[in-house]
Each structure stands twice: as C-alpha cells, then as structure tokens.
C-alpha cells in the first residue's frame, strides 16, 4: 500500500503488432484502383458521420490524389493503413500520452 498522495510511477510499454488488424478483416476494396473509386468509397463510409472536410483531409493525408498523383499503395493496403491507424495506432498513442501526463516514469 502506498501512503496517501504517493505515486508509484512505473515504466509502461504500450503497443500492438501490425498483424493485429488482420483479426478483423475489413471491406474488400482491391478493385477500387482509381482515386475516384477509392475516394467515393471512403466518402460514402465516412462523410455521414464525420463530414466532407474530415474525409478530404483524410484522403489528402493518405493519398496523392488531390495533388495530381494516385493512391500510392494498393487499395487494400491503403484501406488497411487507414483502418489500422484509426482503430489501433491512434488510440494507443492517445493512451500513451495520457499515461505519460500522469506519470514521471517513461512510457
């Protein structure tokens, strides 16, 4: 037991494996090879909940479509990166930041 007000800081490792997202397969988007097709799919899925500005920013961050380029990756890999970042990577980064704020130990 710790004294009232005492902190027992311990080091924490937060992380996941890249394959963790493979346990919940996503939509099959392998045939959405153009910017228009892939972007249309993402807009249909996300705009109702997050709005057009969010989706435009997301597509801008993950593709070069708006800059005259292409998808940059195979559509399934690209979609996997987006879903993995949203459901695994970003929540873990948030968790690590919250632990770090409350602790003097390294995270």
Q: What is the pLDDT of residues 18-48, one digit of tens each?
A: 676 666 667 899 999 999 999 999 999 999 9
Contact in structure between 104 and 9 (CB atoms under 8 Å) = yes
Contact in structure between 24 and 88 (CB atoms under 8 Å) = no
pTM: 0.74
What pLDDT, on the 0 to 100 scale, is given for residue 105?
Answer: 80
Q: Give residue 105's region: left, alpha or beta (phi > 0; psi -120 to 50).
A: beta
What pLDDT, on the 0 to 100 scale, is given for residue 38?
Answer: 96
CA-based end-to-end distance of the chain: 23
Average pLDDT across the chain, whole number: 85
What pLDDT, on the 0 to 100 scale, is given for residue 51?
Answer: 97
Contact in structure between 10 and 100 (CB atoms under 8 Å) = no
Structure tokens at 66: 């708006």
Structure tokens at 103: 């602790």
Q: What are the residue boundaries of the structural domains of the chain, listed by start?
A: 32-97
Other residues' Cβ atoms within 10 Å of the Cβ of residue 95: 13
């Amino acid at each position: 037991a710790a004294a009232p007000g005492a902190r027992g800081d311990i080091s924490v490792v937060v992380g996941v494996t890249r394959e963790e997202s493979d346990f919940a397969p996503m939509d099959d988007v392998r045939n959405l090879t153009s910017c228009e097709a892939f972007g249309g799919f993402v807009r249909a899925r996300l705009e109702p909940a997050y709005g057009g500005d969010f989706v435009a920013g997301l597509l801008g961050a993950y593709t070069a479509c708006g800059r005259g380029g292409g998808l940059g990756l195979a559509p399934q890999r690209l979609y996997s990166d987006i879903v993995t970042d949203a459901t695994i990577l970003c929540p873990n980064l948030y968790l690590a930041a919250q632990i770090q704020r409350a602790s003097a130990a390294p995270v």
